[in-house]
């Protein structure tokens, strides 16, 4: 890894007697979309707050673009924009005013700020309501205004904390597409924290799984699956009539198949990818009628289940 | 970091925002209406008396302009009493939800993640509200003065003007004390209703119940008149309200020569005249110090609490 733009080294953060972050090491490259995935209370927000210098770590070091987040927070905050979870705007200001205010806090002159605020409002699809007070906005609109608010400071790094909560499914897709295209066009580094794996899976280049303050696994989706399940194992379900013992026996003997489970007319098989055609051949050879054959590779779903539902958390 | 000459410094952007938020809020409009309505009654009565029948005013008619602020006619409370009573409400209203409301709305973390030092947030809250208070109090005071000139037809003497300005400045300090108390509670409590109730409870305690409590305590413990009086004054001075009332009364009534009693020896041979401004100021200097100190201590506490508080809810 060449020169990561965000480097978290051995980070520890204690709140009274609970340890929110436990010796965390994390590196994020420039221009990448990194998804920090974890259940509620896993320490995601704490990591973000430390990253922005908004809270002091108990131990460890966070550097952003070479600046120490704890001792030079203003430099870090100059290149970083943060969309907090449950972001809000002062209800008595309009959307446009809110953006201009943020820009002016970043030392952008008023006229320039108004111009880029209008542009951004168009981009996030709020151009028509920019002059309305934000208290009339829906949750989805607020979230999009939040995105515009993050982008108006022309950041190099965007940190998004649970950005899709409260948006409807269609809105979520638009929202994520917007983040992804923005990041790829401008080379912006994105750190996205969420407990919703499908969204993380959809746009992130790399994913880290954070549980109880520790990074349990890291990598792109395929690497994660490999790391967890060794060879790319798939789950194959077949519906066959009739299911004979010889069929089951033969399946069990096939090299690329690990386990076979029989459940009435359904056979559940775990095995390698190349097992699928062999299975159908075997069934036909044994005189069975094949009604359905479904094939599923392990995705983040399984990974998520594996970790969050007891799995490898405590080892 | 380079600073363009034509960019506004972020701190003043924040102060501007504070001011516009306050001035546009219903809360502020209602309070101003309340103050204007109550004081205009009292001022109007006094002005008509001055115009028609100045003999009704107490004793000497020197310092006529000061009398506009202090005289009570037909049992209407004078301007200084009304301001002493309603001023704290203004301070509390501007301060009680300064921090926790922003936290609730989700604007706190957004604002302090901008490239600004963290204390800008609390400082701008204080400075913004302070500017609003100064503007309000001075506008009110000068309006009364202007009305006075219309009715009286004479310009105020320099001494009167100075005393009135000093009175207005210390009123601002007094209001700022309550403002800071409100801000402090807005940091301590996460619910703005809790912080509002707490500040109001303290205000109510000092403005209504504290004097009763002092009288009760003194009545229960002392026998001689002199000791009772000293003890009463001593205990009362714990209350910022009492300090402020003493201060304003002395500033606007030059004929008062002492805060406590004077012995016969001290009085013998004195000419019953009014005090110059410097001497009046000297008389209330401890009160001034106490009020300024109280304001600063409250601000210091809120500053420390805010800087050490975790941002996350």
Which residue range(s) make up the domain with B154? 10-260+274-308
CA dihedral B286, B292, B296, B299 (to 10 degrees): 130
Q: Are residues A21 and A135 in the same domain?
A: yes
Q: Are residues A121 and A205 in the same domain?
A: yes
A/B interface, count of CB pairs below 8 Å: 86
The residue with greater pLDDT, A220 or A193, is A193
Q: What is the pLDDT of residue A94?
A: 93
Cβ neighbours of residue B243 closer than 8 Å, sequence gap 6 or more: B237, B287, B290, B291
Residue B122, domain member (yes or no)? yes
A105 shares its domain with A251: no
Q: Are residues A134 and A187 in the same domain?
A: yes
The answer, for B25 touching chain A at a CB cutoff of 8 Å, is yes
Mutate to test the interface with A, among B97, B114, B128 (most CBs of A within 10 A): B114
How confident is residue A215, by pLDDT bands cut at 50, 70 and 90?
Answer: confident
**Mean pLDDT of all residues belonging to chain A:** 85
* Assigned domain for B170 exists: yes
Four-CA torsion A92, A95, A99, A101, nearest 10 degrees: -20
Of A15, A55, A102, the CB nearest to B114: A102
B112 touches chain A (CB under 8 A): yes
A45 and A105 in a common domain: yes
Task: Decide if B268 is inside a domain.
Answer: no
8 Å CB contact between A179 and A81: no
User: Do residues A76 and A170 both lie within one domain?
Assistant: yes
Q: Which of A43, A88, A113, A158 should be substituted to probe chain B, the one whose Cβ sees the most B Cβ atoms within 10 Å?
A: A88
Asked if the C-beta of B308 comes within 8 angstroms of chain A's C-beta atoms, the answer is no
Restricting to B residues 75-94, those with a Cβ less than 8 Å away from any Cβ of A are none
A81 contacts B113? CB cut-off 8 A: yes
Q: Where are the beta strands (DSSP E) in A89-200?
A: 157-161, 189-194
Residues of A whose CB is below 8 A from B311 = 49, 54-55
Question: Which structure tokens are listed for B235?
Answer: 């205990």
Contacts of A52 in chain B (CB under 8 A): 113
Furthest-apart CA pair in chain A: how many Å? 80
pLDDT at res. A314 = 40
Q: Could you tell me the pLDDT band of residue A311, with boundaries at 50, 70 and 90?
A: very low
Average of per-residue pLDDT across A106-125? 92
What is the per-residue DSSP string for B223-252? Answer: -SHHHHHHHHHHHHTTSHHHHHHHHHHHHH
How confident is the model over A275-294, as pLDDT tens digits?
Answer: 888 888 888 888 888 888 88
Give domain status of residue B173, yes or no. Answer: yes
Q: How confident is the model at residue A76 (pLDDT cuts 50, 70, 90)?
A: very high
Residue ranges of chain B with per-residue pLDDT less than 70: 1-8, 54-61, 222, 260-263, 267, 313
Task: Quote the domain boundaries for residue A238.
Answer: 233-297
**Residues forming a β-bridge with A61:** A9
Does residue A40 contact residue A83 with C-beta atoms inside 8 Å?
no
Residues A184 and A292 in one domain: no
Nearest CB to A54: which of B13, B106, B112?
Answer: B112
> A211 by DSSP, 3-state: which?
strand
Q: What is the domain-level CATH number for residue A134?
A: 3.40.50.300
A226, A258, A286: which is the final residue of a domain?
A: A226
Residue B300 has what pLDDT? 95
In a domain, A219, yes or no: yes
- DSSP annotation string for A61-80: EEEETTEETTT-HHHHHHHE
Query: What is the C-alpha separation between B299 and B129, in angstroms, rounded?
Result: 13
SS3 content of chain A, % helix, strand, coil (to 5): 40, 30, 30
Question: Measured between alpha carbons, how far is residue A98 from residues A102, A148, A153, A178, B231 in Å?
Answer: 6, 10, 13, 20, 55
Specify if A311 maps to a domain: no
Domain boundary among A191, A211, A226: A226
Give the DSSP letter of residue B191.
S
CA B65 – CA B253 distance, rounded (Å): 11
With respect to residue A303, please indicate whether it lies within any of the assigned structural domains.
Answer: no
- What pLDDT does residue A315 have? 35
**What integer pLDDT is reported at residue B177 of this predicted model?**
96
Domain contains A309: no
Nearest CB to A92 within list B1, B24, B115: B24
Q: Is residue A66 part of a domain?
A: yes
Region A190-213: mean pLDDT is: 86
What pLDDT is recorded for position A303? 67
Q: How many domains does chain A have?
A: 2
The verdict on A291 and A147 lying in the same domain is no
Q: What is the pLDDT of residue A312?
A: 45
Whether residues A52 and A143 share a domain: the answer is: yes
Q: How many whole angstroms separate alpha carbon A235 and alpha carbon A296? A: 5
Contact B274, B63 (CB under 8 A): yes
**Model confidence band, residue A1 (pLDDT cutoffs 50, 70, 90):** very low
First to last CA, chain B: 32
Same domain for A216 and A279, yes or no, is no
Q: What is the pLDDT of residues A224-246, one digit of tens each?
A: 766 666 555 678 888 888 888 88
Q: What is the mean pLDDT of residues A266-270?
A: 85
Is B245 part of any domain?
yes
pLDDT greater than 70 at residue A298: no
- Please write down the long-range contacts of B291-300, taking CB distance under 8 Å and 24 or more positions apart: B291/B170, B291/B173, B291/B174, B291/B177, B291/B240, B291/B243, B291/B244, B291/B247, B292/B173, B294/B177, B294/B240, B295/B173, B295/B176, B295/B177, B295/B180, B298/B177, B298/B180, B298/B181, B298/B183, B298/B184, B299/B126, B299/B180, B299/B183
> Does the distance separating the beta carbons of A105 and B13 come in below 8 Å?
yes
* Residue B291 forms part of a structural domain: yes
Claim to verify: residue A99 and residue A205 sit in the same structural domain: yes
Tokens of B18: 């504070």
Choice among A48-57, A205-214, A272-281 with the minimum mean pLDDT: A272-281
CA angle A136, A141, A146 (to 5 degrees): 110
**Angle between helices B192-204 and B79-95 in degrees, nearest 10:** 160
Chain CA centroid to CA B285, Å: 16
In a domain, A304, yes or no: no
How close B36 comes to chain A (CA, Å)? 25
> A252 falls in which pLDDT band (50, 70, 90)?
confident
Q: Which residues of B21-57 are buried (b: 16+ CB within 10 A; e: fewer)?
A: bbeeeeebeebeeebeebbeebbebbbebbeeeeeee
Q: For position A250, which CATH number holds?
A: 3.30.70.980
Question: Average pLDDT in the A6-25 region?
Answer: 88
Structural domain contains residue B132: yes
Whether residue A256 is found in the same domain as residue A131: no
Helices B240-252 and B210-221: crossing angle, nearest 10°?
Answer: 100
Instruction: Considering only residues B48 and A116, tell me which one the structure prediction assigns the higher pLDDT.
Output: A116
Mean pLDDT of A154-182: 87
- Give A300's pLDDT tier (boundaries 50, 70, 90): low
Partners of residue A28 on adjacent β-strands:
A6
Residue B5 in any domain: the answer is no
Of the candidates A71, A40, A303, A29, which has an alpha carbon nearest to the alpha carbon of residue A191?
A29
Task: Decide if A308 is inside a domain.
Answer: no
* Token duo for residue A45: 């927000």
Number of domains in chain B: 1
Burial of B289 (0-12, 13-18, 19+ CB in 10 A): exposed
């Amino acid at each position: 890894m060449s020169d990561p733009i965000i480097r978290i080294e051995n980070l520890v953060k204690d709140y009274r007697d609970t340890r929110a972050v436990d010796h965390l090491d994390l590196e994020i490259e420039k221009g990448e979309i990194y998804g920090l995935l974890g259940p509620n209370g896993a320490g995601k927000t704490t990591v973000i707050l430390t990253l922005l210098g908004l809270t002091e770590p108990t131990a460890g070091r966070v550097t952003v673009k070479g600046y120490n987040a704890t001792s030079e927070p203003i430099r870090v905050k100059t290149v970083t924009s943060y969309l907090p979870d449950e972001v809000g705007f002062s209800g008595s200001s309009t959307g446009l005013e809110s953006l201009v205010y943020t820009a002016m806090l970043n030392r952008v002159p008023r006229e320039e700020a108004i111009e880029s605020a209008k542009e951004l409002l168009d981009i996030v699809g709020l151009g028509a309501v920019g002059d309305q007070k934000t208290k009339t906005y829906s949750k989805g609109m607020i979230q999009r205004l939040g995105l515009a608010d993050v982008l108006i400071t022309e950041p190099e790094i965007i940190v998004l904390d649970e950005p899709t909560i409260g948006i409807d499914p269609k809105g979520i897709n638009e929202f994520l597409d917007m983040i992804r295209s923005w990041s790829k066009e401008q080379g912006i580094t994105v750190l996205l924290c969420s407990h919703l794996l499908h969204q993380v899976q959809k746009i992130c280049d790399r994913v880290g799984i954070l549980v109880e303050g520790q990074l349990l696994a890291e990598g792109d989706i395929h690497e994660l699956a490999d790391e967890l399940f060794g060879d790319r194992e798939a789950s194959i379900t077949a519906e066959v009539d009739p299911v004979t013992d010889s069929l089951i026996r033969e399946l069990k003997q096939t090299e690329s198949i690990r386990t076979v489970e029989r459940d009435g007319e359904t056979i559940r098989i775990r095995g390698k990818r190349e097992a699928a055609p062999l299975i159908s051949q075997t069934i036909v050879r044994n005189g069975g009628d094949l009604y359905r054959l479904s094939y599923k590779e392990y995705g983040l779903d399984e990974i998520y289940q594996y970790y969050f539902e007891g799995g490898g958390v405590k080892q | 970091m380079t600073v363009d000459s034509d960019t506004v410094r972020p701190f003043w952007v924040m102060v501007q925002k504070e001011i516009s938020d306050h001035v546009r809020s219903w809360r502020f409009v209602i309070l101003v209406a309340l103050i204007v309505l109550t004081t205009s009654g009292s001022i109007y009565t006094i002005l008509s008396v001055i115009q028609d029948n100045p003999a009704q005013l107490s004793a000497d008619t020197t310092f006529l302009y000061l009398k506009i602020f202090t005289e009570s006619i037909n049992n209407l409370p004078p301007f200084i009493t009304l301001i002493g009573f309603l001023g704290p409400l203004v301070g509390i209203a501007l301060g009680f939800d300064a921090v926790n409301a922003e936290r609730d709305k989700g604007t706190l973390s957004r604002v302090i993640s901008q490239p600004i030092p963290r204390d800008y947030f609390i400082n701008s809250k204080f400075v913004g509200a302070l500017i609003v208070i100064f503007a309000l109090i001075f506008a009110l005071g000068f309006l009364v003065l202007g009305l006075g000139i219309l009715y009286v037809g004479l310009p105020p003497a320099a001494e009167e003007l100075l005393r009135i300005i000093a009175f207005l400045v210390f009123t601002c300090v007094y209001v700022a004390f309550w403002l800071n108390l409100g801000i402090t509670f807005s940091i301590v409590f996460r619910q703005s209703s809790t912080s509002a109730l707490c500040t109001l409870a303290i205000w109510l305690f000092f403005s209504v119940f504290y004097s009763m409590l002092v009288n009760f305590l003194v009545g229960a413990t002392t026998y001689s008149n002199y000791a009772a009086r000293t003890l009463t004054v001593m205990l009362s001075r714990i209350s910022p309200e009492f300090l402020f009332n003493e201060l304003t009364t002395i500033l606007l009534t030059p004929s008062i020569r002492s805060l406590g009693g004077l012995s016969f020896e001290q009085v013998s041979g004195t000419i019953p005249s009014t005090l110059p401004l410097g001497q009046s100021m000297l008389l209330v200097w401890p009160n001034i110090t106490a009020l300024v100190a109280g304001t600063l201590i409250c601000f210091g506490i809120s500053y420390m609490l805010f800087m050490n508080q975790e941002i996350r809810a």
